[in-house]
Structure 1
Amino acid sequence: MRQERIDASQMELLEKVVSIKRVTKVVKGGRNFKFTALVVVGDGNGHVGAGLGKATEIPEAIRKGKEDAMKKMITVSLDNNSSVIHDVIGKFGSASVLLKNAPDGTGVIAGGPARAVIEMAGIKNIRTKSLGSNNKQNVVLATIEGLKGTKAPEDVARLRGKSIEEIMG
């Protein structure tokens, strides 16, 4: 996997708010309300990131989540029909997400949190299954871990010191 630093400031990024939670803290004078926003950003062309923002107001929490997501962007290698290169399972906490390669015309078969990450990454054909926990934050982060775990044939060939033809069979 390529580990280059992505400069998100020069990209045209799309954002999607996956969840907004209201968090309450009971103090001596009453209750304090804060909001937590889980935001996924991507350019629809192989770059995606997820972030968490916390603030006393919803728009501020979303802004902070977007900034956090831009800092954590990753590059996803796609095959010719805009799908993942190979099947992979991403794990985060007790959430696991199975990402399966799909032929052209399949479309995006994914649940809510995983769908947000996949659409922002620009993947057009994929089958996914969320296993274990269905906590939105963990499912999003498990999907990102799975996408991080995909390896392009060029990278595998370089690591093994072989040609791409030998790797692909």
Structure 2
Amino acid sequence: MSKIDAEELSLNDKLIYINRVTKVVKGGKRMAFSALVVTGDGAGHVGVGLGKAKEVPVAIAKASATAKKNLIKVDMKGTTIHHEIRVRFGGAEVFLKPAAPGTGIIAGGSVRAVMETAGVKDVLTKSLGSANKTNVARATVSALSQIKDPKIAIARRRGPATGEVVNG
């Protein structure tokens, strides 16, 4: 899978979650923050990133930079996805199903944020297993990266003799 150049796209960041974490040391507690950000252009590009720092704005900036490095291209069929898919990431499992135009995004939490920034308008989803926002977001991005156009996938398996399917 090739990486996408983030400078060419007009990306929008969406903050999913900020977590305050503490480290207990000899002198007391050290506070820090972790931020989960999803970035995308609303036209098929999406990435998710996690940033950690002593201050919230720095953590968000780091998460945004990581999300831009991890951009993927989503293969869509109009305003929805091509086929059903079920993906696990850690303890989180995400099920995505194509929907008819006008259905909207039937999702919650991290899945909704990823779908909106990716530009998917009509989809049915179900989040199973762990509700960990980071793992759910990463499972969603992983699922979107695995979705392929069936016609192109079949043409690639058959070989160069069926080039008209790819071009048509």
2:92 partner letter: A
Please report how far the alpha carbon of residue 4 of structure 1 lies from its aligned counterpart in structure 2 after TM superposition: 2.2
Aligned to 2:123: 126
Please report how far the alpha carbon of residue 158 of structure 1 lies from its aligned counterpart in structure 2 after TM superposition: 1.5
Q: Is the 8 A contact 1:34 1:57 kept in 2?
A: yes
Aligned to 2:56: 58
Deviations 1:3-29 (A, max 9, x none): 222000221101111100001011111
Please report how far the alpha carbon of residue 157 of structure 1 lies from its aligned counterpart in structure 2 after TM superposition: 1.7
Aligned to 1:142: 139
Q: Is the 8 A contact 1:154 1:164 kept in 2?
A: no
Matched, 1:5 2:25: no
Choose which of 22, 25, 37 in structure 1 pairs with 2:23.
25
Counterpart-to-counterpart distance in 2, 1:136 and 1:111: 11
1:49 partner letter: G
Q: Where in structure 1 do 4 or more consecutive aligned residues deviate above 4 Å?
A: 162-167
Counterpart-to-counterpart distance in 1, 2:158 and 2:15: 40
Q: Is the 8 A contact 2:3 2:70 kept in 1?
A: no
Please show how residues 20-169 of structure 1 align to structure 2 within 5 Å. 20-80=18-78, 82-152=79-149, 153-161=151-159, 163=162
Q: Is the 8 A contact 1:93 1:138 kept in 2?
A: yes
Single out whichever of 155-164 and 105-114 deviates more from structure 2. Answer: 155-164
Single out whichever of 57-66 and 86-95 deviates more from structure 2. Answer: 86-95
Please report how far the alpha carbon of residue 155 of structure 1 lies from its aligned counterpart in structure 2 after TM superposition: 3.3
1:135 partner letter: N
Single out whichever of 71-80 and 155-164 deviates more from structure 2. Answer: 155-164
2:147 partner letter: T
- 5+ residue gaps in structure 1? none
Q: Give TM-score, length-normalised by structure 2.
A: 0.92
Q: Is the 8 A contact 2:152 2:165 kept in 1?
A: no
* Percent identical residues: 50
Q: Give TM-score, length-normalised by structure 1.
A: 0.92
Deviations 1:18-54 (A, max 9, x none): 1000010111111110000000000000000000000
Q: Is the 8 A contact 2:12 2:117 kept in 1?
A: yes
Please report how far the alpha carbon of residue 160 of structure 1 lies from its aligned counterpart in structure 2 after TM superposition: 2.9
